[in-house]
Structure 1
Amino acid sequence: MSTSSQGSLISWPNPAPAVTERLRQLAAFALHHSLPVALWRLPNASAPQLCLSFSAEAALTGLPPALEPTAPAGFAFFPFRDSDHNPALFLPADVLYDTIQPDELRVNEAAAGASTLLPQLIDYLTKSPQPTTHSQNLPWPVSPQPAPHAATQAEYTALVERGVRAIEKGKVQKVVSSRAARWPLPADFDALAAFSELMERYPRAFVSLVSAPGAGTWLGATPEVLVELTADGRFCTMALAGTQPLPPDHQPQHAIWRQKEIEEQALVARYIVSCFKQLRLREYDETGPRTVVAGELLHLRTDFSVNLRTVPFPTLATDMLRLLHPTSAVGGMPRQAALEFLQKYEGYDRAYYSGFLGPVNLPAPGVSQLFVNLRCFQVRPGEAILYAGTGLTIDSDPAREWQETELKLTTAGAILS
């Protein structure tokens, strides 16, 4: 291996293994050293990326990441609610592998722990073992928290009915109820192979595999952008709500939406506009709502963007992130009243479901993409914990809401069959 003159690029040895094997080797190194690692594929992209941190302690943070170009580069993994049980994580990109440039690793030689671990990593990759055809036996961390309660249909029906009554009484305008489900893992389950299958199944989704001590191991394929900063200087976010199945041989433009879904989506869009108003920002573009495909489901989506080259607002993304999370699409409105309802009645800990995740200042400063952690599951011994939720309005029907959660569970759950 050789180091570039900048001391930040390391070349793979020749002959180098296949790209999928290199990802396995990096993941294996991180797991055997109890280090956090994140693997992801952006929507409509073909090449996955991986980052690992040389210190699990350095990944712990109680604050949302700063999204300015001068802020650290890494991968954010935040829970629905920040707590001691589910720590907020920001994985510094001490090692970054972008498979668009498959023969290079970018490393931070000044990172905490790098002086010890970087030589070990180089040695490990140089003397790479025989190809690891399976990751089943890798020491994937498990959340130290107990598995959450999985609601029965009767329990979820009672939650929906309680939510509708709260709306009728004016306590909330909307509340997003959710539930967990426990599915058995296949005997030969391979987390890295599952990540690859999610990439194949859902090319338009943000696909991720995140593993960290204290947080466990999570896989997902989410359709929802929370906050994005693009290379051409735009801030973007979206309102995504309303769900119906995509029938075979049907086009999205042929979808017919009920008043319930239209109103649910409009509430989310109005909340984003209210956040812009809190920041006294009026120069934004709004497009939609329109019907979009996410896996085998259809949603209503409205896009918002701000041209930061004509509207100088360097902290806009950071400020909006703090105002938006948790969004009304995963909590409800008014936000505080809806969150208090969920805390009291939902009956389980969401952990990282409906939190957010994604690369910050990667692959370059000023480019960040954070997504709402939907259509995801955590891996536990012998089982996966899947999650799904529905937005309740005054017109919600418990049987329909249960069926909607069943549909959503099949997105990530399809790879467990």
Structure 2
Amino acid sequence: MFLTMDSLQSLQQQLIQQMDAYQPCKNQPEITALTAKIQLEQNLLAWLKAQQDYPQFYLHCRADSPNEQENHIAAIGQVRTFTTVNHAQTFVRRADFTLVGGMTFNGECDFYLPRLLLRQVDGELTATLFIDSQKDLSVEKQLAGKCLKNFTKSVALEPVVQSVRLVEKKATQAQWCEWVEQALLEIKKGSFTKVVLANESIFSSRQPINAIDFLAESEKKNTGCYHFFFAQKADYAFIGSSPERLYLRNGQYLQTEALAGTAVMSDDEEQNQRQGEWLLKDEKNEYENMLVVEDICGNIESFTQNIEVQSVELKRLRLVQHLRRKIFAKLTALTADEACLNAIHPTAAVAGLPKQNALRFLAKTETFERSWYAGTLGFMNRARAEFCVTLRSAFVEQNRIRVFAGAGIVAGSVPLLEWQEIERKASGLLSLLQNSGEHICQ
């Protein structure tokens, strides 16, 4: 371990001084926030790797333009937890603190107020320590002090050098193609117009894989994405690098997007250009993308005004490229994140359309639990909220990795081509494990 004494130590001392001086008084707010900030560029993944308290949370928000801020959040410990969006929203309205967490694919909620929250924006690092004023002060100070114990420490991020071996695919190629055929029959019968089928692949490695090192490697290689880490305990983490924004809210202004339709990317720039031109003209992919646009706009129209759908563009990633249409709207008065989350998640890009019919088909067809895959993670407070769709993701448990990938099935989908698409998507994380070579696709 190494210390950044002139920076993190200064923040630590400021927080300790505030905590030592803190005494509850009459009309005390239910939660007290102790805040310190400093001009510092700190790698929050390296910092998080040194911390001992759980849960741990990290989010590197996607910046779409030079005007957008590079926003990194890291959090450890928890003070309050909320298992419904309604309770989380009520707390935010009352206390105006930042909650982190999200919703699984099936809508189970896990939002919480962390014990310690770090935010890195444009060279400024802000640390906020939360104390529950309604609990025993000596216990709260003890828990807060425990969180600050390793505050000045970071651990160097290391390359992920591993060979991995395929243990199991929840559906073989033949089984998954059969799922697609079943979906196409349901589409022909009119049960739904789109459904997003996924698969889970389980790999093992000889040595334990550090999930934070794994994510750091992905963060370097998979640019233009959200990067997330969520661990309730040591040695078991959910990580990923997702290209898709669920939504961004600044005050009453909402940004979301339809990301659907896929083509390959390679080291050949001319081929990438041809693939992109094909993708922009392909009727099947255009139809798939517009289904997502129509679904999102229909779901948010009751609490928004001035909905604007921008022209289609290409979202280029390391191994694939997608069609994307950005969607902008203004929220009506008093509308906040509860309405946005419940209306937008899960989108037609990860579930299907109509949503409930697609979800019923997935529940009886897929042979695994999606859990946080295709769910959403992010943060919310009164002024701002931002959530990503948790795609290109995996659970890492020591030397065991569970990887997920999905593809949208619409009329005209070809089962084998859709299988090849989910294999490419799944390889996005696994290809970062050096020396994995031929073991990835066995």
Shorter-chain TM-score above 0.5: yes
- The alignment status of 1:258 with 2:282, answered yes or no, reads yes
Tell me: CA distance 1:23–1:403, structure 2 relative to 1, closer, same or farther (3 Å): closer
- Counterpart for residue 42 of structure 2: 19
- The alignment status of 1:381 with 2:403, answered yes or no, reads no
Deviation at 1:200, TM superposition (A): 1.1
Q: How does 1:8-407 map to 2 (within 5 A)?
A: 8-10=34-36, 19-20=42-43, 23-29=45-51, 32-33=52-53, 35-44=54-63, 48-55=72-79, 58-63=80-85, 65-66=88-89, 71-82=96-107, 88-100=109-121, 104-110=126-132, 114-125=140-151, 132-133=155-156, 150-185=170-205, 187=207, 189-213=209-233, 216-230=236-250, 233-247=252-266, 248-249=268-269, 250-251=272-273, 254-256=277-279, 257-277=281-301, 279=302, 281-308=304-331, 312-361=332-381, 365-407=382-424
Tell me which moved more, 281-290 or 346-355: 281-290
One-letter identity of the residue aligned with 1:59: T
CA contact (8 A) 1:78 1:355 kept: yes
- TM-score w.r.t. the length of structure 2 is 0.77
The secondary structure found in structure 1 opposite 2:361 is: helix
- Counterpart for residue 7 of structure 2: none
Tell me which moved more, 280-289 or 171-180: 280-289
One-letter identity of the residue aligned with 1:266: M
- TM-score w.r.t. the length of structure 1 is 0.82
Residues 346-379 of structure 1: per-residue CA shift (max 9 Å, x gap) = 1111111001011222xxx411111111000001
Deviation at 1:381, TM superposition (A): 3.5
Deviation at 1:214, TM superposition (A): 11
Q: Matches of 1:48 and 1:41 in 2, distance apart?
A: 4
Tell me: CA distance 1:73–1:11, structure 2 relative to 1, closer, same or farther (3 Å): closer
CA contact (8 A) 2:168 2:203 kept: no
Residues 87-106 of structure 1: per-residue CA shift (max 9 Å, x gap) = 52113133111234566522
Q: Matches of 2:70 and 2:188 in 1, distance apart?
A: 47
The secondary structure found in structure 2 opposite 1:270 is: helix
Residues 247-294 of structure 1: per-residue CA shift (max 9 Å, x gap) = 4213486343422111111111111121133x1644211102222213
- Counterpart for residue 6 of structure 2: none
Q: Matches of 1:186 and 1:255 in 2, distance apart?
A: 41
The secondary structure found in structure 2 opposite 1:8 is: strand
CA contact (8 A) 2:261 2:323 kept: yes
Deviation at 1:186, TM superposition (A): 6.2
One-letter identity of the residue aligned with 2:394: F
The secondary structure found in structure 2 opposite 1:108 is: strand
One-letter identity of the residue aligned with 1:176: V
The secondary structure found in structure 1 opposite 2:289 is: helix
Q: Matches of 2:364 and 2:211 in 1, distance apart?
A: 34
CA contact (8 A) 2:100 2:112 kept: yes
Residues 319-348 of structure 1: per-residue CA shift (max 9 Å, x gap) = 132122111111111111110000011111
One-letter identity of the residue aligned with 2:109: A
- Counterpart for residue 142 of structure 1: none
One-letter identity of the residue aligned with 1:117: L
- Listed as ranges, the gaps of 5+ residues in structure 2 are 1-12, 19-31, 64-68, 160-166, 435-442
Q: Matches of 2:109 and 2:235 in 1, distance apart?
A: 9
Q: How many residues align?
A: 383
- Listed as ranges, the gaps of 5+ residues in structure 1 are 137-146
Q: Matches of 1:7 and 1:269 in 2, distance apart?
A: 40
Tell me: CA distance 1:280–1:104, structure 2 relative to 1, closer, same or farther (3 Å): closer
CA contact (8 A) 1:53 1:59 kept: no
The secondary structure found in structure 2 opposite 1:396 is: coil
Tell me: CA distance 1:347–1:148, structure 2 relative to 1, closer, same or farther (3 Å): farther
Deviation at 1:305, TM superposition (A): 0.9
CA contact (8 A) 1:135 1:192 kept: no
Pair member with larger Rg: 2
Higher strand content, 1 or 2? 2
